[in-house]
């Protein structure tokens, strides 16, 4: 993530306030952990060398291009995994192939995929970092009496390792994963289970995530309060239309503290 100054959050601050919220459920990837930087490291280590063999080159532009396509997941493979329609390995193999074939390469055999994925995983895990404000913001939320938990569409083992590597294992308990119901957000059960595990009613809980549709709007549809975390430099989604969406927007977790009146 670059150091671009954040755009002002949409809507007036009063309209965005989260009065009556006593618990916060947090998405992990791109919300607590700078997964984008980790993906750049992983794609650079695993995919770029395969493209070099076919006349590619390791340049910033290529990595940026790979990251954009990876994040967009135009084929909907990751979404298929979170809907229980594919295994994790199946969706990732399809996504590797898409990156390679679209740049003149060829699809990988299972053995080639396994080798590339081992490299990907090693580089990905070595690059997991919390966003800079996250540890302090979580400590302040907890000091303000806000109950905290993580709710993710990824698998438990992966996310436990990731939170530990980012130094967040003690700061935020992992409550709900894709294994809990066999499907992920925006299935309303996922959000409601997180609230239940916090010991709160859905309307007392805010869900904070970087994807407005599956995170913020999904939470609102499940009866929680939704917050789209739109960090500086994140151009994936247009500014929200709160009158239409019913979710709030924050630029980082310190901004969330203000919304909660806990700053
Ligand atoms: Mg996320």
pLDDT higher than 70, residue 3: no
Q: What is the pLDDT of residue 121?
A: 95
pLDDT higher than 50, residue 48: yes
The mean pLDDT value for 138-159 works out to 96
The mean pLDDT value for 150-168 works out to 95
> If you measure from the C-alpha of residue 31 to the centroid of ligand 1, how many angstroms do you get, rounded to a whole number?
6
> If you measure from the C-alpha of residue 176 to the centroid of ligand 1, how many angstroms do you get, rounded to a whole number?
14
**CA 65 to each of CA 11, 39, 101: distance values in angstroms, whole numbers, following the listed order:** 32, 12, 14
Segment 96-128, tens digit of pLDDT: 999 999 999 999 999 999 999 999 999 999 999
Segment 173-214, tens digit of pLDDT: 999 999 999 999 999 999 999 999 999 999 999 999 999 999
Q: What is the pLDDT of residue 172?
A: 97
pLDDT higher than 60, residue 8: no
Tell me which of 223 and 3 has the higher pLDDT: 223
The mean pLDDT value for 15-43 works out to 91
Residues whose Cβ atom is located within 5 A of ion ligand 1: 27, 29-30, 210
Q: What is the pLDDT of residue 2?
A: 46
Q: What is the pLDDT of residue 52?
A: 75
pLDDT higher than 50, residue 11: no
For the chain, the average pLDDT equals 89
> If you measure from the C-alpha of residue 54 to the centroid of ligand 1, how many angstroms do you get, rounded to a whole number?
33
Cα(141)–Cα(149) distance, rounded to whole angstroms?
11
pLDDT higher than 60, residue 31: yes
């Amino acid at each position: 993530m670059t150091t671009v100054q954040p755009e002002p959050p949409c809507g007036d601050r009063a309209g965005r306030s989260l009065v009556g919220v006593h618990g916060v459920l947090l998405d992990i990837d791109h919300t607590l952990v700078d997964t984008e930087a980790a993906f750049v490291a992983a794609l650079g280590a695993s995919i770029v060398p395969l493209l070099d063999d076919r006349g590619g080159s390791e340049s910033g532009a290529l990595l940026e291009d790979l990251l954009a396509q990876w994040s967009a997941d135009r084929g909907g493979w990751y979404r298929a995994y979170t809907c229980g329609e594919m295994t994790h390995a199946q969706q990732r193999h399809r996504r590797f192939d898409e990156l390679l074939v679209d740049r003149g390469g060829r699809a990988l055999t299972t053995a080639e995929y396994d080798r590339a994925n081992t490299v990907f995983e090693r580089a990905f895990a070595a690059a997991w970092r919390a966003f800079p404000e996250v540890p302090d913001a979580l400590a302040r939320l907890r000091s303000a009496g806000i109950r905290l938990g993580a709710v993710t569409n990824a698998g438990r083992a992966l996310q436990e390792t990731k939170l530990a590597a980012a130094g967040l294992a003690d700061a935020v308990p992992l409550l709900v994963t894709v294994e809990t119901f066999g499907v992920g957000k925006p299935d309303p059960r996922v959000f409601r289970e997180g609230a239940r595990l916090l010991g709160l009613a859905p309307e007392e809980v805010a869900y904070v995530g970087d994807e407005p549709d599956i995170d913020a709007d999904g939470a609102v549809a499940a009866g929680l309060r939704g917050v789209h975390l739109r960090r500086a430099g994140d151009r994936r989604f247009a500014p929200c239309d709160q009158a239409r969406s019913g979710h709030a927007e924050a630029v980082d977790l310190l901004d969330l503290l203000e919304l909660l009146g806990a700053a």
